[in-house]
Amino acid sequence: MDEHKENIHAEDVNVKMSNTREEVGVSTEAKPCSRICPAGEPDPQGSPPQSNSDFSHPVYKEIALANGHINRMSKDELRIKLAELHLDTRGVKDVMKKRLKSHYKKQKLMQSAAEGGPTDTYYHYICVVDFEATCEEDNPSDFHHEIIEFPMVLINTHTLEIVDSFQEYVKPELNPQLSDFCVKLTGITQKMVDEADPFPDVLQRVVAWLQERELGTKYKYAILTDGAWDMSKFLNIQCRLSRIRYPQFAKKWINIRKSYGNFYKVPRTQTKLSTMLEKLGLKYEGRPHSGLDDSRNIARIALRMLQDGCQLRVNERIHAGQLLSVPSSAPVEGAPPPHNPRSRD
């Protein structure tokens, strides 16, 4: 429900955006599926290596020279070179240019890593979340959005694959009757939410799902969302309504819109889900505004960005009800081990 989230973002009086400037850097309905594929397990011994911030290393001069050559290539030349390297040839010129630059950068850094130089990786896993919430066609200013679908899609950053997913519907308690607009938008029926459990129970099963996959203990992971609303608005409000504390593991996340805009150097107007897919040469798969299908398509964008060499890292957080930016200079930390929600009482 990305377009609808855009409409309600300005109405949020519970969460305030800080004045911190955004960093611009280089930076099917189903229950839980299979366990993480053992064949694709990254090495859990220690955290993934961090990027070296010392750009005086000779490898960066070689990368800069290659970038200059790529900048002078035409669209046809870019497509031919990508095809020669057996890389994806889809997307607009800027996307293909970034893909080719990232390929050479990755090759140089792999060679450098073998020689004890800089490397270019972060988390073992990325967990994509895209809530669906109660809504009206014209939301009144005092309308409280309640989460009615809790999906998660797990990306293995080592194999660059979607390896697992979770989905449950949630029973709203403040406004238990869904509007016709909400049903039509999300495809979630009144029967689905009537038969679902309240949010605290669903959140407990989310925590158990994350724990079973040893995220935050054996493996380093991060939450990823399409915009700031899911965590700073929907989850924040839902926890207040459910009288439980905001979960620690969701206090920092990757806002893929920021990452996409910064990486491909495009304005915010070109970072909607449908636009990002189109610019990458991809088509939406599934039903728009289904939380699970939206999450899968967001995951496809994240995978393409990783393939193109983007360093997806946490760039937003919530503190004392405020939405804050995480600067690119901040240490890269994975989300903490998930724990069951605590009561506010």
Q: How is residue 248 annotated by DSSP?
A: G
Strand partners, 244: 343
Structure tokens, 43: 């090495």
What's the CA gap between 228 and 94, in Å, rounded? 26
Active-site residue set: 132, 289
Which H/E stretch holds residue 274? helix 273-279
What's the CA gap between 295 and 274, in Å, rounded? 13
Give one DSSP letter per residue of 157-209, joined into a string. Answer: TTTTEEEEEEEEEB--SSS-SPPHHHHHHH---HHHHHTSBPHHHHHHHHHHH
Tokens 């890269």 sit at which residue?
332
Task: With beta carbons less than 8 A apart as the criterion, state whether 162 and 136 touch.
Answer: no
Q: How is residue 285 annotated by DSSP?
A: -
Q: How is residue 235 annotated by DSSP?
A: I
